[in-house]
Amino acid sequence: MKSLYKQICKFYVVAGFFAIIFASCGGPSHKKDEFLLIDVSFKDVFSDCHINGAVNIPFDKVEIKARKLNKDGKVVLYCTNYECTSSLEAAKILKRKGFKDISVYEGGIAEWHQLGNEGKDFHCNGKCKNAFLSQKIEPHEVEHQDGMAVISAQELKGLLEKYVYDKKTLQEVQK
């Protein structure tokens, strides 16, 4: 049985999307400089619209799939918007499983999509037709338990530029 890691690498090769989800596609190297962006939404939501470079591991599969992921790499989780708590709950699961560098992007695909519509360089994959994508929801101050790191859209964009997108892909995406 292929590991999730190999399936992800195969997905990106087949899709023709130049991405580095892990340090290389030869197998997990367990380096701390690896990065994984996980959308914990349902498959149909992910298929409609997701952040370029994300993989879909629905919330109800996170605990099972965690065994196949690198616990030492950087992991960022997101779901639909500020009102969705699935990404935070998934982050707590990963933390209990021994993951060391976990962050949550609470704005989710809705905020990311809206920023892209404002002409900023926030790019999505998919048709992006779900109604919730256009609903403006303001961030709210939340005190997170367990010291869970929360990142902004700008911080996530920086991580994607550093770890995932190569220059050619950025140019293609920005057209």
Q: Do the beta carbons of residue 108 and residue 29 sit within 8 Å?
A: no
How many residues does this entry show for the chain?
A: 175
**26: pLDDT strictly greater than 50:** no
From its phi and psi, is residue 122 left (phi > 0), alpha (psi between -120 and 50) or beta?
A: beta
List pLDDT tens digits, range 107-138.
Answer: 999 999 999 999 888 999 999 999 999 998 88
Binned at pLDDT 50, 70 and 90, residue 139 comes out as confident
What are the residue ranges spanned by the domains of the chain? 4-173
Is the pLDDT at 145 greater than 90, yes or no? no
- Report the CATH fold assignment for 4-173: Oxidized Rhodanese; domain 1 (3.40.250)
Distance CA 151, CA 126 (A): 23
Query: In Å, how far from its chain's centre is CA 92?
Result: 16
Instruction: For residue range 33-85, list pLDDT tens digits in order.
Output: 688 999 999 999 999 999 999 999 999 999 999 999 999 999 999 999 999 99
Cα–Cα distance between 49 and 111 in angstroms, integer?
12
Mean pLDDT of the chain: 79
Element at 37 (helix H, strand E):
strand 35-39
pLDDT at 31: 52
**Model confidence band, residue 143 (pLDDT cutoffs 50, 70, 90):** low
